[in-house]
Amino acid sequence: MIKKILIANRGEIAVRIARACAEMGVRSVAVHSEADRFALHVKRADEAHSLGDDPLSGYLNPRKLVNLAVETGCDALHPGYGFLSENAELARICAARGITFIGPSAEVIARMGDKTEARKAMLAAGVPCTPGSAGNLANLDEALADAKRIGYPVMLKATSGGGGRGIRRCDNAEELKHNFPRVISEASKAFGSAEVFLEKCIVGPKHIEVQILADRFGNCVHLFERDCSIQRRNQKLIEIAPSPQLTEAQREKVGELAVRAAKAVGYQNAGTVEFLLQGDELYFMEMNTRVQVEHTISEEITGIDIVREQIRIASGLPLSVKQEDIRHRGFALQFRINAEDPKNNFLPSFGKVTRYYAPGGPGVRTDTAIYTGYNIPPYYDSMCLKLIVWALTWEEALNRGLRALDDMRLQGVRTTAPYYQEILRNADFRSGQFDTRFVESHPELTEYSIKRNPNHLAIAIATAIAAHAGL
């Protein structure tokens, strides 16, 4: 069994991993930049070590991270999500230094991180893919020829892209000519690769992804699906598990396809297979070779601790569950509470958190790294917490989400919380029938007025008095 883990990340996912370590009796080591000196993940781990003054370079330096793991006596490294979580070089360096990488092999990361190679692997395994270019595009002329063959609209994508970046929709040849150099530039800067490819644009699909777990003994299971259709500019905002839009037949089919995809590439550890659903047609989109931001809702509906399973798998243990033992119960929603102003085109709103009250009650979970007095730095992603709610029925889950969002008080920065309340009140959303066009087709939802609950003032005064009294 793994004894000590270096958490090569920051923020709420680092806190989440540290908590799993504490429950398993595994020691945890946090890393931090100078900007993160007072971050919560630093306080929650058993040890914490500085990566230097630069806010980003330390988190993005694989050799430095692995060297620190060796120096601190760690036998494993958990990459979390973002940063180097899907970096094959980090996995290779870990293997070379005798550090267990809590994730798939470097070879699988590289193969599935290359979108064209991933498509080839899925087609060979009989997993349906959207029509697209055969490989990476050599030049604009080849892109134009492929687009004419596939038919507009098309999606121009960075081969090594992820997180919604390096993607442009092109509705005609002129837009493709305009976007081709821009996507290459974005891909080069964000992913260190100028390679791009084309896919047919599936208009108005539902974005469905499946959480899988696989061990080294050939066991692979899925934890059902998540619906990530509520997104803005390819960035997910609200995630739901299971999808209220799928029939049982579709649910069974997408789960089977995800397991088939994972087995086809010899996958191990936790991963997510993402699909687009249009009508009854499912298309493979990509595979994320790491824990997802939204893993929480799969945990809520199945009762399975995904991070714990990751550590067990990396320790050489078999999965603790079999597919026939996994059931889903109720509905869970996750709200990415971002420090952004929806009324001002989602402009980032970094700064000091002057007051923070976490919501509670039955079926409410908060994963965060903020606290009252914490300064949200401008160098990282704007997400400051994840609010997760669970209930037995879809309607109860929506109402619980409204209540929890209203309970939460996060002052000092503007957030997306009131915008999510408007979404939860929307009749189209409440009907359980929506697709990836929902946000853009409902611009009126950003025109909310902030309604103040009179109890919030009483809560704020009581909290201030208690803090002053040292209670």
Which sequence positions are flagged as catalytic?
290
Contacts of residue 311, defined as CB under 8 A and 6 or more positions apart, other chains included, come to 2, 5, 20, 21, 24, 26, 76, 78, 102
Of the candidates 348, 446, 361, 443, the one whose C-alpha atom is nearest the C-alpha of residue 401 is 361
- The H-or-E segment that residue 96 falls in is helix 88-96
Q: To the nearest 5 percent, what fractions of the chain are helix, strand and coil?
A: 40, 25, 35
**What does the alpha-carbon distance between residue 152 and residue 169 come to, in Å, rounded to a whole number?**
9
Which has the closest alpha carbon to 13: 1, 26, 30?
30
As a whole number of angstroms, the distance between CA 165 and CA 183 comes to 9
List Cα–Cα distances, 205 to 162, 424, 436, in angstroms.
18, 20, 6
Neighbours of 217 (CB within 10 A): 12
CB 257 within 8 A of CB 265: no
First to last CA, the chain: 41
Residues forming beta bridges with residue 155, ordered by sequence position: 169, 199
What tokens appear for 7 in the block? 């958490």
* Cα–Cα distance measured from residue 215 to residue 459, given in angstroms and rounded to the nearest whole number: 48
In whole angstroms, how large is the CA radius of gyration of the chain?
Answer: 22
Q: Distance between alpha carbon 204 and the CA centroid of its chain, in Å?
A: 21
Strands (E), 79-148: 100-101
Compute φ and ψ for 443, nearest 5 degrees. Answer: -65, -20
Size of the chain, expressed as the number of residues it contains: 471
**Which residues are bridge partners to 239 per DSSP?**
334
Specify burial of residue 315 (Cβ count, 10 A radius: 0-12, 13-18, 19+).
middle
DSSP character string of 427-464: HHHHTT---TTHHHH-GGGG---PPPPHHHHHHHHHHH
How many whole angstroms separate alpha carbon 131 and alpha carbon 201?
9
